[in-house]
């Protein structure tokens, strides 16, 4: 495992619990933090359920599951993470929240602790500049769902040094995943390509070119996508899609990244996708039903 043996994860939500899962399974000691005990308990339940699925499929043994769960501890105190070798911030996709977390962490960090963010779009250089160690700061972007998806984007800020990048690359390999190196520009690689495609699908719906069902069916059967773009938007979260489009629009100043007004309207309504039971589909019944 090289120099990194202990990992702190900030945020026990969809991404945070998935990151904790894969690190614990790979043999790292994990400390998970969130602002509520309920979130930490929910995360542990989710991790247990997902490990059970892996056991059922024969991907891991029961003993692997037990050992992984034994490596995950939790705390409500952010400063407890300070002495970990590697810290991964996986809080909500709001720069002000992330900045506040790093500023609170800095006084408690060990001298060699590496700081990373799982941000899907925000400038790594800018986040790093709010810490005392921009050279030991990296973008560490996992894909959702973390236990399933193979890719990790590694994003260097302008000050990130080579030992930090190399250490994190070794971690990705230890996790059994594949790293793609991205430059620090808005939304990096995956979301620079993916989210504008989703936004264009929303425009296609907004302009009446096709229905929710026809747009998703067309992309699944016509482009061999495993999920239609509107179905995928619901899975990601429409608020997250809008946030990334805003980062692209603000960061690149190009009108082609203007968020679709219909996407904005859904977010204003609180219809954020699967997590709120309504988005481009209504998930409150037995089967998802298009909302338009």
With a CB cutoff of 8 Å and minimum separation 6, the contacts of 225 are: 219, 232
Identify the DSSP state of 259: P
Please tell me the distance from the alpha carbon of residue 232 to that of residue 230, in angstroms, as a whole number: 5
Helix (H) or strand (E) holding 51: helix 37-57
Q: Which of 86, 144, 89, 142 is nearest to 117 (CA)?
A: 89
Enter the tokens of residue 56.
Answer: 């059922």
Identify the DSSP state of 143: P
Residue numbers annotated as active site: 120, 141, 153, 191
Phi, psi for 254 (deg, rounded to 5) = -120, 130
Provide the β-strand partners of residue 7.
30, 86
Please tell me the distance from the alpha carbon of residue 27 to that of residue 212, in angstroms, as a whole number: 43
Is the Cα torsion angle 251, 254, 260, 265 positive or negative in sign?
positive
Please tell me the distance from the alpha carbon of residue 45 to that of residue 64, in angstroms, as a whole number: 17
Contact 139, 160 (CB under 8 A): no
Neighbours of 189 (CB within 10 A): 16
Neighbours of 232 (CB within 10 A): 21
């Amino acid at each position: 495992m090289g120099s990194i043996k202990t990992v702190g994860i900030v945020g026990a939500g969809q991404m945070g619990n998935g990151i904790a899962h894969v690190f614990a399974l790979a043999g790292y000691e994990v400390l998970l933090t969130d602002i509520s005990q309920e979130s930490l308990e929910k995360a542990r339940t989710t991790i247990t359920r997902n490990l059970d699925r892996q056991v059922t499929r024969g991907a891991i043994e029961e003993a692997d599951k037990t050992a992984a769960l034994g490596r995950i501890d939790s705390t409500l105190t952010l400063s407890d993470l300070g002495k970990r070798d590697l810290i991964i911030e996986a809080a909500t996709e709001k720069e002000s929240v992330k900045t506040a977390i790093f500023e609170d962490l800095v006084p408690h960090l060990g001298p060699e602790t590496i700081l990373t963010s799982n941000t899907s779009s925000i400038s790594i250089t800018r986040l790093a500049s709010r810490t005392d160690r921009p050279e030991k700061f990296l973008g560490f972007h996992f894909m959702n769902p973390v236990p399933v998806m193979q890719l990790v984007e590694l994003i260097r800020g302008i000050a990130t040094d080579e030992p930090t990048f190399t250490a994190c690359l070794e971690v990705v390999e230890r996790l059994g995943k594949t790293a793609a190196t991205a430059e620090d520009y808005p939304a990096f690689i995956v979301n620079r390509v993916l989210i504008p495609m989703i936004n264009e699908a929303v425009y296609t719906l907004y302009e009446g070119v096709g229905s929710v069902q026809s747009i998703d069916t067309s992309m699944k059967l016509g482009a061999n996508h495993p999920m239609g773009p509107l179905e995928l938007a619901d899975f990601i979260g429409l608020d997250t899609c809008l946030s990334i489009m805003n980062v692209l629009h603000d960061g690149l100043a190009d009108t082609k990244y203007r968020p679709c007004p219909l996407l904005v309207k859904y977010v204003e309504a609180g219809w954020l996708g699967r997590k709120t039971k309504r988005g481009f589909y209504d998930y409150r019944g037995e089967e998802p039903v298009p909302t338009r």
